[in-house]
Structure 1
């Protein structure tokens, strides 16, 4: 049975999920800080098997980021990602101050643009917004 668990901050689970999708390897101290310093974590399980995770990083007032939306490959295409992103968006809506706007941003993996568009995200650049930018510190 598929279930979503809130604020499950298990480093080994996080590292396992990242490895399953081929993301950059983190050491345990990085992973621990990442989990402990985000506002919200939702972990998806199939019975007791972890199959996905999404995190929200936010100032809780002006901007929030969806970070690490992970669904292991064998569960992709089964609407679990949609269930998870809807849970993340619902959480951000719940912390948004009344009568205010909050930006909800994310960095999309190449080839996943259509998935995020289905959930109300827009691609940048637009006529009003410049491109997203990134810098890796190594």
Structure 2
């Protein structure tokens, strides 16, 4: 497999990049007004490009001290399996490690798309804990 020659930038994706990558991985249609506000309040983001065109992204939301939530890790399907997602995760986890409180733990959460749990397990994520139940509701 040929190595992908990409650039990873410590910046939030633009609203249009976010929409393009979101929709390319099958997460449905994205409201750009909502996306713009959500991106603006994120803690940190990375955008991966080739010749200026976006091929991947990831961001972190949370309180920046104790709770961090990895969000929107997406790589264009044609570039998946080539190390782009791993590079995104390394950047996100490094950010958390540097910014979490020195004397406390950091809770890091994420939701994995169907079929992607094995990818996140390589970074130490587990599907729940015996003493905790992950729960979710969506208001639409």
TM bin (shorter chain): over 0.9
Which of these residues, 29, 40, 44, is aligned with residue 40 of structure 1?
44
Which of these residues, 75, 78, 82, is aligned with residue 79 of structure 2?
75
Tell me the distance in 2 between the aligned counterparts of 1:71 and 1:9: 12
- Counterpart of 2:130 in 1: which secondary structure? coil
Q: CA RMSD in A?
A: 1.1
Deviation, 1:48, is 1.4
Stretches of structure 2 that go unaligned for 5 or more consecutive residues are none
* 1:91–1:36 distance in 2 versus 1, CA, 3 Å: same
Tell me the distance in 1 between the aligned counterparts of 2:70 and 2:12: 16
Contact 2:13 2:57 in 1 (8 A): no
TM-score norm. by structure 2 comes to 0.92
Contact 1:9 1:36 in 2 (8 A): no
Tell me the distance in 1 between the aligned counterparts of 2:105 and 2:33: 34
Deviation, 1:9, is 4.1
Stretches of structure 1 that go unaligned for 5 or more consecutive residues are none
Instruction: Kindly indicate whether residue 68 of structure 2 is the aligned counterpart of residue 61 of structure 1.
Output: no
User: How many pairs are equivalent?
Assistant: 136
Deviation, 1:46, is 1.6
Question: 1:88-122, CA deviations, whole angstroms, 9 ceiling, x for partnerless residues?
Answer: 00011111111210101101111111100011111
Tell me the distance in 2 between the aligned counterparts of 1:23 and 1:82: 20
Tell me the distance in 1 between the aligned counterparts of 2:139 and 2:12: 28
